[in-house]
Structure 1
Amino acid sequence: MFEEGYIDVTGGRVWYQLFNKDAVGTPVIILHGGPGSSSYSLQGLKALAEDRPVIFYDQLGCGKSDRPSDPSLWRIERFVEELAQIRQSLNLNEVHILGHSWGTTLAAAYCLTKPSGVKSVIFSSPCLSAPLWEQDQRRNLEKLPKEIQATIIRCEENETTDTDEYKKATEVFNKNFVCRLNPYPEWLKKGSHYRNPEVYNIMWGPSEFTVLGNLKEFDCTPRLKEITFPTLYTCGRFDEATPETTKYYSSLTPGSEFHVFENSAHMPYVEEPDEFLSVIGAFLKTRDAR
């Protein structure tokens, strides 16, 4: 019913978990956020294994996977290749894909290679355009107290994003637009060591608000019309992946569906877990039945 292990991919080995291997539903593979985060916070989604195999993996460079020191590995093309290698290794001939945050960037890039056997894709709190993400965070910042805005902008301009004042200011941002649970769950704090800031810095940059890494020009909006298999877009009402932009992505994707979790920010799978599982589970079951 459960297995875990390592899969050889370009650059090293990635750690994976497979729940309910023998279930009859089409497997769903979970792509975590970051870049350079891990599958740790998404473990609640193993409840989907009631109906189907569920696969988690930590992308190379983070979590329980290898952490090679070669910075040339941290580019989206290699992560797309990695996903294909995992599918091949686990014999996932047919699969649903659920990406969250940066995981949606990866999911979109992968889907645009026109792989076979993808039955549906779920974009949870999507980032499908780095320029649009940057614009949205500037607008989100304007909703915060003036002194918080000033601190974040000043620290970015002075390249002092590693200071305590910057960290405290971003905590205020996070409480509004990332996870609104108060208190913040202790178990989430315990997963922080699974992150790899080097991957994040190379691909995104030192802060959430200004993209300086190699994803700076990423924008697949002109190609979303090419995603023709069933697609679901979701986000939280207070998400840094804003409802307005998420709905815009959905409008560009033929026949896609769109859902907002009304009491969540960027982590509805933690903030509203029952609702999240209900919406995702229903979408997957409907796609399997067709």
Structure 2
Amino acid sequence: MKTKIILTLVILFFILSCVEKPKNSVEPQSTKKSSYFDYSNSDDQVTGGINMIPIDTKKGTFNVYTKRMGNNPKMRVLLLHGGPGGTHEAFENFDGYLPNEEIEYIYYDQLDSYYSDKPNDPSLWTTEHFVEEVEQVRKALNLNKDNFYLLGQSWGGILAMEYALKYQDNLKGLIISNMVASVAEYNKYAQEVLGPQLPEEVLKEIKAIEAIKDYANPRYEELLMTHYYTEHILRKPLEEWPKSIHLMFEHLNPNIYIYMQGPSEFGITDEATLSDWDVSDRLKEIKVPTLMLGATYDTMDPKYMEWMATEVQNGRSVTTNGSHVSQFDDPETYFTGLIQFIKDVDNGSF
């Protein structure tokens, strides 16, 4: 009798095990999971990826702000913001695109920018200082030639080119976003191409204000914001600009900005320290894989940026349909080009 019962139970178990599982049944999750957002057991776990990195300068040691987003030992991108004196906030929509590709990226506010220490010492406001600052950040974050991509936008592009010309052996890839290799070319494009595109009466009023150097005049900012910024900085009505861009402008350090760039938005003024900056003849020295990210409506000549990609030894050019912060007004082209470049370099197909 016991034998029959046991045999019946075995047959019943076999039949039940062969019954097809309901389609809505939950399968056990794979034991393999991404470590991209795993900050456990890392030194910066308690700060959420933030590291205040000490920078040695001739005027003492100061701390700069960095924040690591994600983990990927093969693809790590350090972001150099514009200005000078801008902030990492201009890059905050990278959160919407790079994590899905598991590309690690690092926000960084340069010395005298909002989230970092502000010694407010003009003797530190040189490209030479900032190149060495980037190098100290690189070492502190353990970035190296096997994983280190450097992305510089606007003034950050100047800094990235200068860094590559001195330290390119530390790089895996270089990205220059919205910056030409010559201030003279930048000024020429602003004055000969972009300025005349403004309504005649607007341009006349702007030039009159600049002629007497009345840059603090609220009317000057009003004219630029209404007629120039919405065409060539971010091609959206001001009320549609993202909060991160408004914050970047609110947090901009005007002292370093005016000292290095000057008060005008139609090129870099003669008294500014960057007024004669030009490395166009040295682009051919850059051998590391390089992406030039230009934009049709940028303050920088997109054709000149395409030419820059032919001057470096191993270049590629992508031109978006956006403006100076084209990561916001043409993100599809911008991030597609950026991600493809990083992955092509990573897998050796570039």
Q: Same fold per TM (> 0.5)?
A: yes
User: How far did 1:53 drift?
Assistant: 2.0
User: Which residue among 104, 116, 121 is the counterpart of 1:70?
Assistant: 121
2:14 corresponding residue in structure 1: none
User: How far did 1:24 drift?
Assistant: 4.0
The alignment status of 1:191 with 2:245, answered yes or no, reads: no
The alignment status of 1:160 with 2:206, answered yes or no, reads: no
Asked whether the 8 Å contact 2:182–2:278 carries over to 1, the reply is yes
1:235 corresponding residue in structure 2: 294
Name the aligned partner's letter for residue 208 of structure 1.
Answer: E
User: How far did 1:185 drift?
Assistant: 1.6
- Could you tell me how far apart the structure 1 residues matched to 2:159 and 2:303 are? 21
So what's the TM-score if we normalise by structure 1? 0.94
User: Which residue among 256, 261, 265 is the counterpart of 1:204?
Assistant: 261
- Could you tell me how far apart the structure 2 residues matched to 1:218 and 1:190 are? 28
Deviations 1:104-155 (CA, angstroms, capped at 9, x unpaired): 1000000000342311111111132111111111020111111121122111
The alignment status of 1:15 with 2:65, answered yes or no, reads: yes
Asked whether the 8 Å contact 1:239–1:266 carries over to 2, the reply is yes
Q: Which has the larger radius of gyration?
A: 2
Deviations 1:27-70 (CA, angstroms, capped at 9, x unpaired): 11111111110010201224324423211100111121111121
The alignment status of 1:92 with 2:140, answered yes or no, reads: no
1:36 corresponding residue in structure 2: 85
Name the aligned partner's letter for residue 89 of structure 2.
Answer: Y
Asked whether the 8 Å contact 1:39–1:57 carries over to 2, the reply is yes
Shift in CA distance, 190/176, structure 1 to aligned 2, threshold 3 Å: same
User: How far did 1:190 drift?
Assistant: 3.2
Asked whether the 8 Å contact 1:122–1:233 carries over to 2, the reply is yes
User: How far did 1:91 drift?
Assistant: 0.8
Asked whether the 8 Å contact 1:261–1:268 carries over to 2, the reply is yes
Q: Name the structure, 1 or 2, with higher relative contact order (CA <8 Å, separation 6+).
A: 1
Name the aligned partner's letter for residue 6 of structure 1.
Answer: M
Count the aligned residue pairs.
288
Residues 1-290 of structure 1 mapped to structure 2, 5 A cutoff: 1=39, 2-9=48-55, 10=57, 12-21=62-71, 23-46=72-95, 47-49=97-99, 50-94=101-145, 95-138=148-191, 139-171=193-225, 172-182=227-237, 183-187=239-243, 188-211=245-268, 212-262=271-321, 264-290=322-348
Name the aligned partner's letter for residue 167 of structure 2.
Answer: K
Give the gaps of 5 or more residues in structure 1.
none
